[in-house]
Structure 1
Amino acid sequence: MSGRIFQNVVLQLKENTDRTIGVIDGEGVVIACSELSMIGQRWAEHVPVVNGASGAMVSSDGKTFKALNGWNTQFDYAVFVFGDNDVSRTVCAMSTVALNSAKSYYEEKHDRGSFVKDIISDNIMLGDIYMRAKELRVTADVPRGVFVVRSLKKGESVPTDVIQSMFPDRQNDFVLSVGEGDVVLIRQMPEGAGIKELNKIASTMEENLRGGGASAVVGIGTIATHLRDLAKSYKEAQIAIEVGKVFDTEKYIINYENLGIGRLIYQLPTTLCEMFLQEVFKKNPIDALDKETLFTIHKFFENNLNVSETARKLFVH
């Protein structure tokens, strides 16, 4: 968040009090102050005290602090006023109200979630991603997993609050409502994470939703190593769900990387597929095939048209 927004409010407050007022960030750096010479100073010793107050007003070394509204257990920004008497506490409380309002207004205009939603929806120019990411303090080049969660019951939406409660770190993770009832989770992943870690996260979400009475399917895209890759991964997660409707109807977690030949067939034009079926099944429709033959065909596709692997899975020669 821009320190200029806080500084403008602090300078207005300065006109109505003789107390020194300012704002520190989560690392204790003074990012706004009525005494301009103090901007940039680091007061790391006050950070544990403010965090320990859990949002309440607290005094430390002759100063009064109060954390601004935030989503994390640790504060992102806190107001400080010199002095630890009743007057300082009153000024601190009033300053907090004004600065919280400024913070909310700024976040509505420059919301991180809206920024990420614009990326996955291809509503932002590639060159603007870098500039906005820097402004909003969103790290650009860390690995992120993209998950699309869709309700299996037509007309119902996925409960966003359940997903949000599972991933409360709004600095690094994003839970977004997209489209008609879909919820997208963009989760920061550790270096070297792969399919196993992605599937584990998806399984946890699906189990929690099912435990709460909501049935959903989770589509997983490939890991995005940069913000610019989020849109591609999001589309892959959507494709995973759509292909799963056809080829993996009994699965609730579908990873794009495991779709195999199914994703190629899905992307073929419908008319071309219909022509192929008409040519192959000239005499009898595909529905005329017995269950054992259909089962064998499904296994053949599941194993990417590998004859020997399919035979091994079916325990036949």
Structure 2
Amino acid sequence: MSSRIFQNIVEQLCDASQATIGVVDAEGNVISCGDASLIGQRFSEAALMIAAMPEIISVSEGKTFLPLKGWNATYGFSAFVIGEGEQAQALCRMAQVTLNATKTYYEEKHDKSTFVKNIITDNILPGDIYIRAKELHFQTDIPRAVFLIRQRGRADVAVVEMLQNMFTEQQDFVLNVNETDVAVVRQVSFDTTGEELNKMAKAIEDRLKTELFARTTIGIGTVSEHLRELADSYKEAQVAIEVGKVFDTEKTVINYESLGIGRLIYQLPTTLCEIFLSEVFKKNSIDSLDQETLFTINMFFENSLNVSETSRKLFVHRNTLVYRLEKIKKLTGLDLREFDDAIIFKVALMVKKYLASRENRMM
């Protein structure tokens, strides 16, 4: 258990009691204390006394000790108060009760976090989810959203701690998945919209960027209404990031529900994609189009196939754009001014981009 958690409680106890209170581990090392100068010191004699009589108050070298729940020879913690006598014993009992409650809460939180991590990573059988949830008194049928935060560039371990400080509710979980990925499982309402989820993700991104200078990409899965659906939501968040890397390289927050046709293309076999391109571009390969032509095409799509608006954005005469579109028609056999042809061409561009990303990944 983190000494930082104990330290926060210990400081509050010291302020309230005007006494010096602390926590030692099983070896007698001071891990938290109201007197910061004592942190790191070892009370070896006290540790031996506690190990011999873990159920009662021990007094050693002017200090009063009382073990927390779950003490044993290799793992455990004990509260201590500087001083002896009835008042010191009363303060020690007060500290024990408070620290035990804190310890129990965080141990339960850890057990639940491990449980949730096992669910999203498919490390638990579906039939065991309900059994384990019952053991942990875990609510199974409340809506939850999964945010997958992936660090770009150098990974910073402080990201996990900051996210834990941001999401402190009992039903919120911050899970360190691997070196670059952190999953946040957050309780939401049944009517939470995709736009609201995007705002939550943006708030996470802004906080990490502002305080840690961390560059991240965040994938958002669909809201799960039952615990067993969490794994699907997590996989969707992963897919959102991967699809975003191919089709929306400038986006840093990608919602699975907003992926559109890119999600479909991403799941197609490469052989099928290659067949599609060969059938669409019978006259000439898509590679025959130069960068200027591709830029014109993309601008035409961005302006909803509007010739006048596109020519204005490109700073060219309307007739010049019409000439370019006619040239594209001769090369490809597709008239982008026709809605059906435009759709085919748009999909073809996305398929080409997908195949290129696959090739780069394999290199």
Per the normalisation by structure 2, the TM-score is 0.54
Who is 2:74 aligned against?
A: none
User: Which residue type is aligned with residue 135 of structure 2?
Assistant: E
Matches within 5 A, 1:145-164: 145-153=145-153, 155-157=154-156, 159-164=159-164
How far is 1:299 from its partner? 7.6
Is 1:201 paired with 2:200?
Answer: yes
Question: Aligned to 2:146, what secondary structure does the other structure show?
Answer: strand
User: Which residue type is aligned with residue 152 of structure 1?
Assistant: R
Structure 1 pair 101–215 and aligned structure 2 pair: CA distance change class (3 A): closer
Matches within 5 A, 1:265-284: 265-282=265-282, 283-284=284-285
CA contact (8 A) 1:149 1:216 kept: yes
Aligned CA RMSD, in angstroms, stands at 3.8
Who is 1:34 aligned against?
A: none
CA distance, structure 2, for counterparts of residue 295 and residue 178 of structure 1: 40
Is 1:225 paired with 2:229?
Answer: no
Show structure 1 runs of 5+ residues with no match: 1-50, 59-65, 70-78, 80-84, 301-305, 312-317
Who is 1:285 aligned against?
A: 286
Question: Aligned to 1:290, what secondary structure does the other structure show?
Answer: helix
Is 1:210 paired with 2:209?
Answer: yes
CA distance, structure 2, for counterparts of residue 244 and residue 150 of structure 1: 12
CA distance, structure 2, for counterparts of residue 105 and residue 132 of structure 1: 18
How far is 1:131 from its partner? 1.9
CA contact (8 A) 2:145 2:188 kept: yes
Question: Aligned to 2:217, what secondary structure does the other structure show?
Answer: strand
Question: Aligned to 2:242, what secondary structure does the other structure show?
Answer: helix
Who is 1:123 aligned against?
A: 123
Who is 2:181 aligned against?
A: 182
CA contact (8 A) 1:194 1:223 kept: no
Matches within 5 A, 1:1-317: 54=12, 85-86=86-87, 88-89=89-90, 92=93, 103=104, 111-153=111-153, 155-157=154-156, 159-169=159-169, 171-212=170-211, 213-282=213-282, 283-286=284-287, 288=290, 289-296=293-300, 307=339
Who is 2:50 aligned against?
A: none
Structure 1 pair 299–227 and aligned structure 2 pair: CA distance change class (3 A): farther
Structure 1 pair 290–104 and aligned structure 2 pair: CA distance change class (3 A): closer
CA distance, structure 2, for counterparts of residue 187 and residue 298 of structure 1: 35
CA contact (8 A) 2:278 2:285 kept: no
CA deviations over 1:79-137 (Å, ceiling 9, x no partner)? 9xxxxx537516616855995898599659x7111100000011112222112112222
User: Which residue type is aligned with residue 136 of structure 1?
Assistant: L
- Between the aligned residues of both structures, percent identity stands at 45
CA distance, structure 2, for counterparts of residue 106 and residue 230 of structure 1: 22
Question: Aligned to 2:250, what secondary structure does the other structure show?
Answer: coil
CA distance, structure 1, for counterparts of residue 203 and residue 245 of structure 2: 21
Give the paired residue count.
230
CA distance, structure 2, for counterparts of residue 131 and residue 202 of structure 1: 32
Who is 1:74 aligned against?
A: none
CA distance, structure 2, for counterparts of residue 228 and residue 151 of structure 1: 27
CA distance, structure 1, for counterparts of residue 128 and residue 242 of structure 2: 31
Show structure 2 runs of 5+ residues with no match: 1-8, 18-65, 70-78, 80-85, 305-337, 344-363
CA distance, structure 1, for counterparts of residue 301 and residue 91 of structure 2: 75
CA distance, structure 1, for counterparts of residue 100 and residue 207 of structure 2: 37
